[in-house]
Amino acid sequence: MRQFLHGLLLFITLGLGACSSPAPNPDTIRVRWAADLETLDPLLYLNSVNTTQTINLLYFSLLGNRQESVPLLAEALPSVRYTDSLTFITYRIHPAATWDNGRPVLARDVAFTLAVMNCPGLPNEASQAQFDFIEKIKYDSTDQRRFTFVCRGRSPEFYSASGDFPILPEYALDSTGSLAALPLRTLRMPEAAKLPVVTRFVQRYMAAQLDRHPGNLPGCGPYRLHQWQSGRYLSLQRKPTWWGDKVQPSPTQLQAYPKKVVFDIIPDENTAVLALRRRQLDIYPRLPAKDYIRLKESPAAKWLSFYSTGSYEAFTVGFNTRRPILHDRLTRRALSRLFDVPALIASTQQGLAYRSVGIIAPQAKPYYNSSLPFVPHSLPEATSLLQQAGWRQSATGWHRAVAGAAAQHLQLTISYRAGDPAYEAAALQFRSAAAKLNIPVTLRPAERSIFFAQLRNGESDVFLRSLSGNPTAFNFAPLFHSQYTSAGNYSGFGTPASDKLIEKLAAAESQQQKIRLVKEFQQMMQEESPEVVLYFLRYQTAANTKLTGLELSPLKPGYNVSTVRLRKGS
């Protein structure tokens, strides 16, 4: 009866009209999202893959990252020159670039954006960590569109990273230019939070409620928010007049074909597959491996195209090093031996995933440290490492004596995002293996926003999540530097040695030096094990065969919705 009612609900929810199998709407592209957004605040554009994707359609950065940098707002790729300790990166904004009200996008808007990213009192910790190498911006006195970033150090990564944040309009929230008038070094001082200019701006920014109303700070991208029904869908409307249309010949990165993009929020995978079969979805990105294989062998394969690409997205297990029982690396290394990674890849990814020795994907050669071994699945090795860490087993479990304090008891919670079979399988496997060693583990599945709140607040012992990388960027400070334990460093990890290595890596001036340091970092992470990569995902995508222009990519979200269009003759 329960299965019958579930099927009836699906039938009612998805609608009778779907049975007519309509052709794709040439003006509207419908895409499946597994989860809703938490925010559309441009400062939090790295909050989730869905947030990043949406903000990249509403706002534009100077450069686009499509494995290689391409100019977006910038007229061309920047020029770079070096001194002994500084890098100077000069951009010119495209002369056609305007805001929705017709005002030109100017260097002042870039300066304003940098000021917002460094303004105390705003949710910009991740931005500060990512772009703290920019010391100041210098205007060109003869050209309001030209400017130069003065960057601390000589890292080649500054070239692409300097153009990788959404540019915001100064006129919308600071028409007098008061915030951008403050030097970045002033905004980065602790006492800056008390400056009247700063407090007034923070009040205006928060009053704009950009998390739900991005139109209060309109971007210069090709789309604007049309509707957002929480938990149901988010739709974007193509702007009828957009500056990118004036650029001829039109480069791929400035093409935006769909007049409307609808992201249907369908958390349940079975429901999403049914919607795809009924042609209520045009694109199903990040399709679960089991459904990818089944659909390829189903009648739907006649009108679906299937794609599979490698990715730089890792499935990881993290350990909260702030917990006394997880503070030492031997305990963390022991617990990492409880995961049977080949079994997880076979059962949850149908073999469509691949192992890695660490946070660098194997295809990111020559940075991948192939001299390191995979982390093994070994209960005897886990037992030995626990004993080396000072744990002793008794009838009541594992205990460790602590000088001047109560003895520690090894019992754990493992947190993960609810509803994802891959996370659930890994958590259950961990609990089962731990039980064989008499280590109690409590499962803590949670809805996405609650899960990340737990991570931010340090409320988890062990956690499962995915991390996305970039084959050309190796700034690990937001993830593993002790300075950012209140931002993205959810493991709370950081030692003087690891901090120093991360800083040296960020400042590396040559590829040879960077290769050496990246490999050294992988070795250190294996030894310390604050977060361990279980495997890297492959991106499976199914799309209506009449669509073209998906521009598949190993970078999240794995495709480009703005270039999707009907094939000629469809």
CATH of 311-537, one of 3.10.105.10, 3.90.480.10, 3.60.15.10, 2.40.30.170: 3.10.105.10
Q: What is the pLDDT of residue 5?
A: 36
Query: Which helix (DSSP H) or strand (DSSP E) does residue 55 occupy?
Result: helix 49-58
- Considering the domain 42-216 in this protein, what is its CATH number? 3.90.76.10
With contact defined as beta carbons under 8 Å apart, do 543 and 283 qualify?
yes
Q: What is the pLDDT along the chain (570 residues), one digit of tens a residue?
A: 333 333 333 333 333 333 434 567 879 999 999 999 889 999 887 778 899 999 999 999 999 977 688 999 999 999 999 998 999 999 999 999 999 999 999 999 999 999 999 999 998 988 888 899 999 999 999 999 999 999 999 888 899 999 999 999 999 999 999 999 999 999 999 999 999 999 999 999 999 999 999 999 999 999 999 999 999 999 999 999 999 999 999 999 999 999 999 999 999 999 999 999 999 999 999 999 999 999 999 999 999 999 999 999 999 999 999 999 999 999 999 999 999 999 999 999 999 999 999 999 999 989 999 999 999 999 999 999 999 999 999 999 999 999 989 999 999 999 999 989 999 999 999 999 999 999 999 999 999 889 989 998 999 999 999 998 887 778 898 899 998 877 789 999 999 999 999 999 988 888 899 999 999 999 999 999 999 999 999 999 999 999 999 999 998 999 999 999 998 876
Kindly give, in sequence order, each residue whose CB lies less than 8 Å from that of residue 65, ignoring residues fewer than 6 positions away.
Answer: 160, 164, 470, 555
The reply to whether 42-216 and 311-537 are identical in fold is no
Q: Can you read off the two tokens belonging to residue 535?
A: 């495997």
Sign of the torsion angle spanned by Cα atoms 343, 346, 348, 354: positive
**CA 532 centroid distance within chain:** 17
Q: Can you read off the two tokens belonging to residue 416?
A: 């993960």
Cα–Cα distance, 224 to 59 (Å, whole number): 9
For the chain, what are the domain ranges?
42-216, 311-537
Alpha helices in 444-540 (DSSP H): 448-456, 477-480, 496-506, 511-528
CA separation (Å) from 212 to 209, 225, 265?
6, 10, 16
Cα–Cα distance, 279 to 285 (Å, whole number): 14
Q: Can you read off the two tokens belonging to residue 486?
A: 């209140």
List beta partners, residue 263.
31, 234
Cα–Cα distance, 199 to 497 (Å, whole number): 37
Query: Which helix (DSSP H) or strand (DSSP E) does residue 436 occupy?
Result: helix 421-436
Cα–Cα distance, 63 to 76 (Å, whole number): 9
pTM, 2 dp: 0.89
With contact defined as beta carbons under 8 Å apart, do 464 and 45 qualify?
no
